[in-house]
Amino acid sequence: MKYYLTTPIYYVNATPHIGHAYTTLVADTVKRVRRMMGDDAYLCTGTDEHGQKVERSAEKAGWTAQEFADRVSGAFRSEWDSLGIDYDFFVRTTEPRHAGAVQWLFERCQKNGFIKKDTYTGKYDVTGEAFVTDEEAQKIDGPVEVVTEENYFFKLSEFQDRLLKHYEDNPDFIRPESRRNEVISFVKGGLKDLSISRASLKWGIPLPGDDGHVFYVWFDALTNYMTALGYGGDAEVDPEGLWPADLHIVGKEIVRFHAVYWPAFLMAADLPLPKGIYAHGWLIFQEEKMSKTKGNVVRAQPIDQVVGIEGLRHYLLREIVFGQDGNFSYEGLVGRYNADLANGLGNLASRTLAMIHRYFDGAVPEPPDDSGGALAVLATETIAKVRAHFEAFEFSRGLDAIWALSGAVDKYLVEQKPWVLIKGEDEETKAQLRTTLYNAAEVLRIVTALASPVLPKSAAEIWRQLGQESDLTAVRYAGLAWGQLKPGTKLPGGEAVFPRLDVEASIKKMQELEQEVLKEQAQIMGRTVEAAPAARQKPADSERIEIDDFAKVEMRVGVVMTAEKVKKADKLLHLTIDIGEAEPRSIVAGIAAAYEPDSLIGRKVAIVANLKPRKLRGLVSDGMIIAASGEDGNPNLVSFLEDAPIGARLG
Ligand code: MSP
């Protein structure tokens, strides 16, 4: 069976980090699992290159939008190549074939009467590239603008019943369950027609029949899944017969676009709907979603150089319950690597293979009885279990089962003590030694094959060290059974696959490399990291102040007790800050664009304590919080590396 799966296409206004890599690594794993299930699996990925954000970022960086998109799209592509992502299609939304597909889809919707023209005034979330409700606008960190224009609308309101029926008839259409419920209640709440064009924007695909408009980014972006297959083009359309897609893997924040808008567009165009959408959770780093805007991103390249990308794949898939949010930490990454890969699979492989080299001259011994006993039973059960878990996207449970099998062989070796058996002269002991090492090597072979969708490179290397000439990617669950390791197979030897890592040194190295990669990536985006203040002039003598002038300003260390958004003020937060006085200070600060209220609670900050109080939006602001203005105009709070005591005076 053919199996077509996709990742979202990545916005080119950020360079790749491991939050993006998470979606792609999972999709790559799913492709490999489907292949092991016997499917002919295809993976589509790409870059999302239109829209206001990209136009603005390009302008800021001094590139044309196309140049900018070329650079960042190239960075994504080479990232996926260097991480060994086995993709079959890479779509760029600035390719002419994609414009053809978007226009084709639009014309089908139009022909069927689902497009109308209307004026629209609304709040536009520039970062999310969508009109938002007033309530949603309150929660948005980035810029929100009021936009009025004549737009082409998609008549989404006509699809409420059909969508609800589709969800009901196809319980697996949206997974996991929690997301399905969320989408159903959103659709039940009523659907408004959707603006799908912009007159105000140039950087996009022109609307057929109205050059004054370009497509709204989501109508443009979602269509990529069909562009890849040749829809809307002159070439042969979908030669492999891959549409409808079997699975769209997406992050949870974009499930609505995939589970509501996309199927409605396809229904309107009389096209078959994808079979399923799976929404995963977020990678959390330093307590927040990893994202460029928050500035808390971790890149894959430093991890690849120190731990290896397979360590990251394993960590993300074993540690995070797929569908839920999960924390990333360097300690967790290296800890998992040492426990599961260096001590677990790596150790099992090197011990078993080394003993076969030493005791049997590198040839798999022939056991008198190759039934494998209890280990064979466990291995057979594990094959079925892992397949079922992986098929159901339960990666952590599947990996638990693989590691339980690997642990069972460790225990078996400790019990059998081949290093003692080798000393025995009698036939029975010799036979027992052959059985022990045959069984251990055979389980190693099965464990390696089972782990291969998650650890493709290292599994291929262990497979080679086991003397297997077949291509590991050709192994199928159905053909994987106990007893296929041929006695007499010569083992070619090789290096240990997962050398143990020093925890502290590895973390330090990754953090250092992170800085280098950060600079490289900043250059891709056209910004030089250290450039900024070099040319600033020293203040003239006449502008300088006396120390006494400075002493008039009383600055103190405080800790944030509470933080809330201020109603109807996008930029303001209302904070209470304890500076060691009887009552915490009430302070209103223009930092809402850069800080989530919850992330500030408990944080030490510096404030000016002797300013005259004033009222902002009806709230008393008794002090000023000190912050630097970042390059993008966003505030960056002054903070302390060492633990500064509350109330301490700055100066
Ligand atoms: N361009 C849109 C998708 C259009 S698909 C027709 C987009 N791009 S994105 O670059 O912002 O995100 C791409 C994918 O990366 C999403 O699935 C998103 O969830 C994922 N991630 C980006 N940061 C992430 C984390 N910190 N954690 C996990 N995945 C996140 O949305």
Tell me the per-residue pLDDT of 494-513, one tens digit each, with 9 for 90 and over.
999 999 999 999 999 999 99
- Would you state the pLDDT for residue 516? 87
Q: Is the shortest distance between the CB of 320 and ligand 1 below 6 Å?
A: no
Residues 104, 109, 115, 121, CA torsion sign: negative
Could you give the CA distance from residue 395 to residue 322 in angstroms, rounded to a whole number? 7
pLDDT surpassing 80 at residue 119: yes
Cα 324 to averaged position of ligand 1 atoms, centre (Å): 15
The phi and psi torsions of 616 (rounded to 5 degrees) equal: -125, 125
Tell me the per-residue pLDDT of 532-550, one tens digit each, with 9 for 90 and over.
334 456 777 878 888 888 9
Q: What is the mean pLDDT of residues 66-80?
A: 95
User: Is there a cis peptide before residue 539, judged by omega within 30 degrees of 0?
Assistant: no
Tell me the per-residue pLDDT of 18-35, one tens digit each, with 9 for 90 and over.
999 999 999 999 999 999
Q: Is the shortest distance between the CB of 22 and ligand 1 below 6 Å?
A: yes
Instruction: Please name the residue whose Cα sits nearest to atom 12 of ligand 1.
Output: 10
**Token pair of 450 as six digits:** 């089972």
Report the SS3 class of residue 262.
Answer: helix
**Token pair of 480 as six digits:** 């994987």
Report the SS3 class of residue 115.
Answer: strand
**Cβ–Cβ contacts within 10 Å for residue 419, how many?**
13
Q: Is the shortest distance between the CB of 222 and ligand 1 below 6 Å?
A: yes
pLDDT surpassing 70 at residue 232: yes
- Would you state the pLDDT for residue 223? 98
Helix 52-61 × helix 65-82 angle, to 10°: 100
Distance of CA 509 to the CA centre of its chain: 23
Helix ranges restricted to H, 290-372: 300-306, 309-319, 330-336, 347-360
Bigger pLDDT: 639 or 73?
73
Tell me the per-residue pLDDT of 568-586, one tens digit each, with 9 for 90 and over.
888 899 999 999 998 899 9
Cα 282 to averaged position of ligand 1 atoms, centre (Å): 9
Could you give the CA distance from residue 651 to residue 648 in angstroms, rounded to a whole number? 10
Q: What is the mean pLDDT of residues 240-260?
A: 97
Cα 510 to averaged position of ligand 1 atoms, centre (Å): 24
Arithmetic mean of pLDDT over the chain: 92
Q: What is the mean pLDDT of residues 506-535?
A: 73
Q: What is the mean pLDDT of residues 564-570?
A: 87
Cα 529 to averaged position of ligand 1 atoms, centre (Å): 25
Probe residue for ligand 1, chosen from 28, 47, 48 as the CB with the greatest number of ligand atoms within 8 Å: 48
Q: What is the mean pLDDT of residues 99-108?
A: 97
Tell me the per-residue pLDDT of 166-207, one tens digit each, with 9 for 90 and over.
999 999 999 999 999 999 999 999 999 998 998 878 899 999
Comparing 185-199, 284-298, 387-401, 424-438, the range with the smallest average pLDDT is 284-298
Tell me the per-residue pLDDT of 412-452, one tens digit each, with 9 for 90 and over.
999 999 999 999 999 999 999 999 999 999 999 999 999 99
- Would you state the pLDDT for residue 536? 55
Q: pTM value?
A: 0.80
Q: Is the shortest distance between the CB of 23 and ligand 1 below 6 Å?
A: yes
- Would you state the pLDDT for residue 128? 67
Bigger pLDDT: 524 or 356?
356
Report the SS3 class of residue 5.
Answer: strand
Report the SS3 class of residue 199.
Answer: coil
Comparing 239-253, 358-372, 515-529, the range with the smallest average pLDDT is 515-529
The phi and psi torsions of 129 (rounded to 5 degrees) equal: 50, 55
Give me the percent of the chain exceeding a pLDDT of 90: 75
Tell me the per-residue pLDDT of 618-628, one tens digit each, with 9 for 90 and over.
899 999 999 98
